[in-house]
Amino acid sequence: MNKNNRRSSSTSGHKRAGGAGKPRGGSSEQGSKRSEARVERDQRSGLSGARAAFGGGHSELNSAQTGQGRKGAARHASGGSGKRPANTALAGLPVEKNGEYTAEIIGIGHDGEGVGRVDGFTLFIPGALPGERVRVKVLKLKKQFGYAKLLEVQKASPDRVGPPCPIYDQCGGCQLQHLDYAAQLEVKRQLVVDNLERIGKLKVADRTGGVAGAADHYSGDYRMVKDAGQPADAGLGIPESQILNEDVLESAEVGKGMDTAGSAVSAINEADDSVGEGAYANNTGDADLYTGMAGSQGSLRSRELQPLQDTEFVDAASLLDSAGDGDAEILTQDGAGYEAAFAGTEGIVVYPTIGMDDPWRYRNKAQVPFGEEQGGLVGGFYAQGSHRIIDMEACLIQHSNNDEVIAKVKEIGRRLGIRAYREETHEGLLRHVVVKVGFRTGEIMVVLITNGEEIPRAAEWIREIRAAIPGVASICQNVNIGRTNVIFGRTTRVLWGHEVIYDYIGDVKFAISARSFFQVNPVQTEALYGKALEYAGLTGGETVVDAYCGIGTISLFLAKHAKKVYGVEIVPEAIEDAKRNALLNGISNAEFAVGGAEDVLPEWQRAGVRPDVIVVDPPRKGCDERLLDTILQLRPERVVYVSCNASTLARDLRVLEDGGYRTVSVQPVDMFPHTVHVENVALLVRCDTDV
Ligand SMILES: C[S@@+](CC[C@H](N)C(=O)[O-])C[C@H]1O[C@@H](n2cnc3c(N)ncnc32)[C@H](O)[C@@H]1O
């Protein structure tokens, strides 16, 4: 055992210094539970391998500079007998439960937690960042890894920042606010590179022409790390294929259709999903609307990746050595010089993540659970590990209109004596308030989700909401009388105003009803679809298939540049929206069908449809095998793969590559700043075509 790490009976308090080095308080244990749930799922599925993590070193910023860690450092210096604790719960481990240790953080895990090492033993530590040295308390141990709570940052990462959100620790909706935004973008790109290399066994372009991954970090070191010399399944002790598998499980368990993880807050809580309980934030795409409807799609699939056998690991030490070697000049965030840097090299070009100029206030939809605290109406987010609702004034990733509307609705409800729904007794009225805002149009929709048809003093409530919120164009009621965590019930009615509000993506106009899905970050959606359009390479004469089309957003975006677009989607309501939106935009060359893409594409094939381009945008579990087979039979010139899950993307790219396609490039897009999620667009071309 490292002499610096010996058990301490004292528990040091959390320290804060200007945000840097701030342990994420209450989120630590919760984060541990999330990671643990993932790992346990994986163990159930009997996989082995090593968990992917991002990591590497950072330039030194010692505890004296940050003003932190003196207490910890002192203990650190005096500690260490080299003796293994007598009561180690799991024999042979260098750490024990409730013991305090100093850990070096070598990577970031898939929930944004720090991946640390103590005497070679892996600990997952929410709130810790790569390159940091931290004092931790072990909360839970497994044979090959454990979970620990961050007590103190002794050496802070230069990328550590103070999270601006006052409720960051408790909410869980965001996971990366304590990491500088530029570094978040690096982390997300590296996530993609790691998945392509490790899961897809794909070669990522490396401007040195060396081993994939040897020099593709650009200004930081957020890459996957394994210990040199350790066998593949001894590395971090967590199966690599778990990355894939957990998502499949997640999708199945949550039963969501539009499952880009996140916004079905209640459903996610129920499923102990890893995405977090940030009610306002509910941080990624919007699963809620079709929750349950496409649940059947979430069934587990046995197609899993083989555990990796390669031994070309990147050693953490070599990463530290290679940091600051000039790569940053070439691989800049805006991609300047990128093409040139990669010219003549083999492999997939993974571009720098497209980030936001202002990565705050980007969400166009809030859905907030309501409750009562000492008789008064509260609305905010669920306290960790419970369904107790904590009142919240503001969420920094929400459009500020949404915060204001929620505050006003809350205040009016309090004044009128509206009672909140109580889960335990199934009594009370107001369950959730959902607010949607059109970024371009400024139109606002308020949806009151109630446990019952009748709203007492409804006319007064409507009048006051209208008076308080000038932009309101629609006030709706959705009735949900179920004992369920699903947010919406079946019946929606308009209390005042219009049935829909409108907004745009590019120059395509969309009608947004209380229950229709619409991307929550319209600014980045435009960037994402713009890239999909570019990758589709349309000249006006092409036939395009948009599989997993939702409400037809991508189909309609592409239709103006193609001869004909066919969209297929499993949720009938979404297809109704797609047709309505086609009419709204005068688009007559788009045709939509309800069904599983894996069933409908073969029908179209039999009917003689021969697409030049196939776009897929599947849920987190990726494409159905049968769909991939059909794509390989149809042999379109290009496949554009839009993905919210880099691990299933990598898996499916492998299948397509084996079937005669070449992945040219992948563009990560940051749709959900401050969360661990990243969206990608990949371009594949048929090997016998020239691109
Ligand atoms: C990530 S969303 C993409 C939606 C759309 N492209 C957009 O950007 O708004 C995935 C969509 O696939 C749908 N879906 C899930 N399984 C499907 C299947 N087997 N066949 C067709 N659509 C499916 C979901 O209901 C959801 O609308």
What ligand 1 atom has the least distance to the C-alpha of 518? 9
- The pLDDT tens digits of the residues spanning 575-624 come to 999 999 999 999 999 999 999 999 999 999 999 999 999 999 999 999 99
Q: What is the DSSP letter of 293?
A: T
Percent of the chain with pLDDT over 70: 66
Please state, in angstroms and rounded to a whole number, the distance separating the CA atoms of residues 28 and 10.
18
The Å distance, Cα 574 to ligand 1 centre, comes to: 9
Q: Which protein residue's CA is at the shortest distance from atom 7 of ligand 1? A: 550
Please state, in angstroms and rounded to a whole number, the distance separating the CA atoms of residues 518 and 568.
17
Average model confidence (pLDDT) across the chain: 75
Map 475-511 to HEC letters. EEEEECCCCCCCCCCCEEEEEEECCEEEEEECCEEEE
- Residue 340: the pLDDT is 59
Q: Mean pLDDT over residues 338-350, rounded?
A: 72
**For the chain, how are helix, strand and coil distributed in percent, rounded to 5?**
25, 25, 50
- Residue 227: the pLDDT is 33
Residue 519 annotated in ligand binding: yes
Give Cβ neighbours of residue 618 (< 8 Å, ≥ 6 apart): 547, 548, 597, 624, 643, 648
Assess whether 644 carries a catalytic annotation: yes
Residues with CB under 6 A from ligand 1: 257-258, 260, 290, 294, 297, 519, 548-551, 553-554, 568-571, 574, 596-598, 617-619, 624, 644
Which of residues 445 and 258 earns the better pLDDT score? 445
- Residue 517: the pLDDT is 86
Examine the pLDDT at 90 and tell me if it is beyond 90: no
Examine the pLDDT at 306 and tell me if it is beyond 50: no
Q: Which protein residue's CA is at the shortest distance from atom 4 of ligand 1? A: 550
Residue type, 118: V
Spatial CA neighbour of 176 closest among 3, 396, 377: 396
Q: Mean pLDDT over residues 141-168, rounded?
A: 96
Examine the pLDDT at 24 and tell me if it is beyond 70: no
Residue 339 annotated in ligand binding: no
Per annotation, catalytic residue among 174, 549, 623, 644: 644
Instruction: Measure the CA dihedral 132/136/139/140, to 10°.
Output: 50
Residue type, 496: W
Which of residues 362 and 54 earns the better pLDDT score? 362
Spatial CA neighbour of 509 closest among 521, 501, 497, 517: 501
- Residue 401: the pLDDT is 93
Long-range interactions of 383-392: CB distance < 8 A, separation 24+: 383/170, 384/26, 384/27, 384/29, 384/30, 384/170, 384/172, 384/277, 385/30, 385/33, 387/269, 387/423, 389/279, 389/420, 390/167, 390/170, 392/167, 392/171, 392/279, 392/280, 392/368
The Å distance, Cα 575 to ligand 1 centre, comes to: 10
Centre a 10 Å sphere on the Cβ of residue 381 and count the other Cβ atoms it contains: 26
The Å distance, Cα 329 to ligand 1 centre, comes to: 39
The Å distance, Cα 614 to ligand 1 centre, comes to: 14
Residue 504 annotated in ligand binding: no
Q: Which of 159-173, 272-286, 434-448 has the largest mean confidence? A: 434-448
Please give the biggest Cα pair distance in the chain.
77
Examine the pLDDT at 230 and tell me if it is beyond 60: no
- Residue 550: the pLDDT is 95
Give Cβ neighbours of residue 481 (< 8 Å, ≥ 6 apart): 451, 452, 489
121 touches 98 (CB < 8 A): no
Examine the pLDDT at 140 and tell me if it is beyond 80: yes
Examine the pLDDT at 214 and tell me if it is beyond 80: no
The interaxial angle of helices 400-415 and 458-468, nearest 10 deg, is 140
Residue 548 annotated in ligand binding: yes
Tell me which of 570, 573, 598, 669 to substitute to probe ligand 1's pocket, judged by most ligand atoms within 8 Å of the beta carbon. Answer: 570
Tell me which of 526, 569, 575, 599 to substitute to probe ligand 1's pocket, judged by most ligand atoms within 8 Å of the beta carbon. Answer: 569
Which of residues 19 and 645 earns the better pLDDT score? 645
343 confidence band (pLDDT: 50, 70, 90): low
The interaxial angle of helices 181-198 and 646-658, nearest 10 deg, is 40
According to DSSP H, which parts of 514-645 are helical?
522-536, 553-559, 572-584, 597-606, 625-634
Q: Mean pLDDT over residues 683-687, rounded?
A: 97
- Residue 645: the pLDDT is 97
What ligand 1 atom has the least distance to the C-alpha of 260? 1
Q: Which protein residue's CA is at the shortest distance from atom 1 of ligand 1? A: 619
Q: Which of 105-114, 165-174, 518-527 has the largest mean confidence? A: 518-527
**Coil/strand/helix, residue 419:** coil
516 confidence band (pLDDT: 50, 70, 90): confident
Q: Mean pLDDT over residues 97-126, rounded?
A: 95
Examine the pLDDT at 420 and tell me if it is beyond 70: yes
Q: Mean pLDDT over residues 489-510, rounded?
A: 96
What ligand 1 atom has the least distance to the C-alpha of 624? 19
Domains of the chain from N-terminus onward: 232-345 (no CATH), 365-505 (2.40.50.1070), 522-686 (3.40.50.150)
Q: Mean pLDDT over residues 109-134, rounded?
A: 95
The Å distance, Cα 549 to ligand 1 centre, comes to: 6
What ligand 1 atom has the least distance to the C-alpha of 571? 25
89 confidence band (pLDDT: 50, 70, 90): low
- Residue 213: the pLDDT is 37
Examine the pLDDT at 221 and tell me if it is beyond 60: no
Alpha-carbon distances of 571 from 289, 293, 405, 597, 602, rounded to whole Å: 10, 7, 30, 11, 18
The Å distance, Cα 618 to ligand 1 centre, comes to: 5
